[in-house]
Each structure stands twice: as C-alpha cells, then as structure tokens.
Amino acid sequence: MVNPKKRFFHIDVNSAYLSWEAVHHLKHLGGKTDFRKELCAVAGDVELRHGIILAKSEKAKAFGIHTGESILEAKRKCPNLLLLRPHYELYEKCSKAMLGILETYSDRVEQYSIDEAFLDMTGSEKLWADPKDAAWEIKETIREKLGFSVNIGISSNKALAKMASDFRKPDLVHTLYPEEIKEKLWYLPIKELFFVGDATERKLKNLGIFTIGELACTDLEILRTYLKKHGEIIWHFANGRDVSKVLETPNIQKGYGNSITIPFDVKDADLAKQVLLALSETVSARIRYAQVLTGQVGIRIKDIFFRNFGHQRSLKNATDVTGEIYEQACRLFEELWDGHPIRHLGVYAGKIMGKDTGRQRVLFEKRDFEKFQKLDQAIDEIRKRYGIDSIKRAVFLDSHIDHMSGGISREKRTVDEEEKVLW
C-alpha cells in the first residue's frame, strides 16, 4: 500500500549537457541537427587536459562509451564520434529555468545538482490522486517549454525516488515504493545503489556482496565493522529507508575550494605560487561573497605521475583576506612539494564560521587585517561592476596564468552565440 502521507519526486535531466547543447543549437543557432539523435558526446578540452566524456547520446552509449572516460578511449571505441565543447554558463541557465518550472508545482524544491532536483509533493493528493499524473505533467511541461526531457522518480522517501529516476531512460516516469524494492531494486548490481561509489563497490564485493538485495540482507554489524557509518547508510537505502527531508534552504557550506589542471607542466616554484595566488583570489572572493570566514587552509597537488598530495593547516585567526589565504597556501606548498613537475593544483578553505567571529589581536601582527579586508572588498566591488579583468595584480600582467583561475576555465564560462564548429 502506497503511503499517502509522503510524496517525493526526483527529477533528472536526460544526458543533460548534451540535451542542453542540442536545444541551444536547434533553437538559438538555427541548426538542423539534433545532437541527441546522433553519434555524439560533450567532452572537455584535450589541450587543457580536461579530455573526458561529460555526456553522451544513446547511440554513443551503444558503442560502450560512458561518462568519465577519456576522449582517447572513446575514440578507440568509435572513431566517428562527434564531440561538442561544453558551455557551462548555458547549463546554468537551463538548470535555473527548470527549477523555475518545478517551483510552480511545489514550494519545497531542493536542487541536488545542476541537472537534478527533489520535490516534496506531499499534500498534493487533491490535485493529483495518482502522483504519476503530476509527474507526467511536470515532465511534459519541461519538454514543451524548455525543449529537453527528464526522468522522474516517485517514492515515499528521497533515496528511493532518486534510484527510481535512474531506471530505464529517457523521458519516463518510474515509481519505487518500499513494497516494490524486492521486485525492482534488489536484483540490481550493488553499484546501482545510491551512495555506492567505486571504492565502496570494491569493498562490498570483497565481502561477497554483489547485488543490492545481498546488501539488504547482510548483518548490519558486519557493514559497520568494514564501512563504518557509510555502511549503515547504504544498508538502510538498500532496505528502502530514508528519513531525510527536501531542503528548501541549502545547509551552510562547510568549505570552499577551487582547483585547476594546468595546460602545461609546472616545474618552477614561483610559477606554481602564481597559480596558488590565482586560486586564492577565487576562493577568498567566494568566502567574502558568502559573508563568512575560514579557519583552515589546505592545498592539493597532483604531479605528472598522477600522484596526489594534500596538506592543511588551522589558522590562529579566521580570515577572508586573499593575502592571508595565499600566504598559508604558499607555506603548505613549500612543505609538501617534492620537486616533481605539477599538472594540477588546488586551494581549499575549511572550518567555516560566521562573519561576526572575533579576531584575536596579535602584538606584532604583520598585516593590518581591517585595512586589507576593506581593500579586498573594494576590489570585489570593482570586478562586480566592471568585470573580473578590470583589476588584477601586476604579477599576472605578462603571465600565462589566468589571474582568476580554477573551476570552469575561462573559455567555457560563456556561450558563443555564433559557434557551430565542433571537434
């Protein structure tokens, strides 16, 4: 019997990046080709070392091409694969438009990722006796107004709704209520369970657990022993249990970070510190925008051998000043780097606290905190008004390093309305 008191929907855009590229190409660039129907994929830039498949068409999927594999691997499987450059600003606009539609159906909407969202539809029984009717209406409204398709999963809790939306695609509605899990869920391989990644899958298989049903029937104490709290969570999911709510207001962010894969191998410490400065600029700007302070700075290095190194340090005083974050990042770098060429750097800020946190006075403090805080705020205002390139540090004037690096590379932040050239 379906629980009439709880109704949760999970909306998942089908091949989101590819769908959004296709709609933009057809409706705004005057194109005649629907990329969703072609042997096609969206992929990162090989020259910038972002050469992985981000989304693929059903035809590409039939060749065994999957999200996350390298372009070289995909091309070996299918030499004729057509590749599209990603445009993240476009994706953000499409995501925002979809959320706008969802908010007309419920005042409890949680954006789970750029192409996913949860809706709490509890209380809508008088409008739609059958929740599938509401889901089909939402799905068709998105298709008619925005031009792309979604899958919608329905259940009495969020975890099951999420897994239901991953059933057969595209453009479908599925239910997965607790009483349906033995029939619809338990026979699936363990990797299909929500919250089970590659590392967890390997651990479960080492325990002889290969299906979701086998996990559901495993002694919980065994999972706690080998997987700690995570084992308990996925055991409850496998048994159809989840008490989480749709979060209309996101939780306070616990950390901020930014990283970049550098287009060339960095062999010089001074150049590496330029990258760290550019990353510190973007991270500190986000911290100031959120009106919080960080009490911890960390860095991460990946060298040409794909070895990862990380280091972090707590601060005596929480800060949002770019110079202080950068100074700590440099100290960590000097302690961590072993001299091998670098391909990837990241700067991270943790122990986030409120802006009103007191700052302990240090007798011989080198930096006037309030002075530099006001300077950074002035720089933020100038960049907001006149663009991020309107003011930059002199060290970047003749540098190959973007002064506001990390995350989405510069050439992908905007959409070229005339672009029709593919890879």
Model pLDDT, residue 72: 87
Which neighbouring-strand residues pair with 120? Answer: 8
CA atoms of 344 and 224, how far apart (whole Å): 35
Q: Does the structure show a pLDDT above 50 at 421? A: no
Catalytic residues: 116
Return d(Cα 290, Cα 288) in angstroms, integer.
5
Determine the Cα–Cα distance for residues 244 and 277; give it in Å rounded to an integer: 39
> Closest Cα partner for 314 from 329, 292, 332, 295?
295
Residue 46 pLDDT greater than 70, yes or no: no
Q: What is the pLDDT of residue 398?
A: 81
Q: What is residue 263's predicted lDDT score, i.e. its pLDDT?
A: 76
Instruction: For the sheet with 53-56, list strands across it.
Output: 53-56, 40-43, 82-84
Dihedral sign, Cα of residue 162, residue 168, residue 174, residue 180: negative
CA 145 to each of CA 98, 141, 347, 415: distance values in angstroms, whole numbers, following the listed order: 9, 6, 40, 21
Of residues 26 and 411, more confidence is placed in: 26
Give the pLDDT confidence of 192-205 residue by residue, as tens digits. Answer: 999 898 889 999 99
Angle between helices 198-206 and 220-238 (to 10 degrees): 130
Highest mean pLDDT out of 80-89, 153-162, 344-353:
153-162
H helical segments located in 117-166: 131-146, 158-165
| pLDDT score recorded for residue 412 | 46
The distance between the two most distant Cα atoms of the chain, rounded to a whole number of Å, is 70
Evaluate if residue 281 carries a pLDDT over 80. yes
- Residue 416: pLDDT over 50: no
Does 29 score more than 50 pLDDT? yes
Tokens of 52: 């992985």
Question: What share of the chain has pLDDT > 90, as a percent?
Answer: 59
pTM above 0.85, yes or no: no
Q: What is the mean pLDDT of residues 61-79?
A: 90
Q: Nearest-CA neighbor of 247 among 94, 151, 120, 95?
A: 120
Tokens of 304: 């040409």
pLDDT at 139 over 70: yes
Write down the pLDDT at residue 262. 82
Q: Is the pLDDT of residue 367 over 80?
A: no
How many CA atoms lie less than 13 Å away from 132 in the CB half-sphere?
A: 8
Query: What value does the mean pLDDT of the chain take?
Result: 87
Portion of the chain with pLDDT greater than 70, in percent: 89
- With a CB cutoff of 8 Å and minimum separation 6, the contacts of 246 are 8, 108, 109, 110, 118, 119, 120, 158
pLDDT at 3 over 50: no
Mean pLDDT of 116-124: 94
What band does 15 get if pLDDT is binned at 50, 70 and 90? very high
pLDDT tens digits, one per residue of 105-118: 999 999 888 899 99
What are 248-275's pLDDT values in tens digits? 665 556 788 888 888 788 898 999 999 9
418 has a pLDDT exceeding 80: no
* pLDDT-wise least confident of 53-62, 161-170, 267-276, 307-316: 307-316
Q: What mean pLDDT do residues 223-237 have? A: 94
Beta carbons of 319 and 339 less than 8 angstroms apart: no
349 or 422: whose pLDDT is higher?
349
Give the pLDDT confidence score for residue 255 in this predicted structure. 84
With CA atoms as reference, report the closest residue to 182 among 213, 219, 209.
213
pLDDT at 45: 66
Listed residue (118, 117, 109, 89) closest to 17, CA to CA: 89
Residues in Cβ contact with 311 at an 8 Å cutoff, skipping those fewer than 6 apart: 298, 299, 332, 335, 336
User: What pLDDT, on the 0 to 100 scale, is given for residue 188?
Assistant: 97
Domains of the chain: 1-176 (3.30.70.270), 185-238 (1.10.150.20), 256-406 (3.30.1490.100)
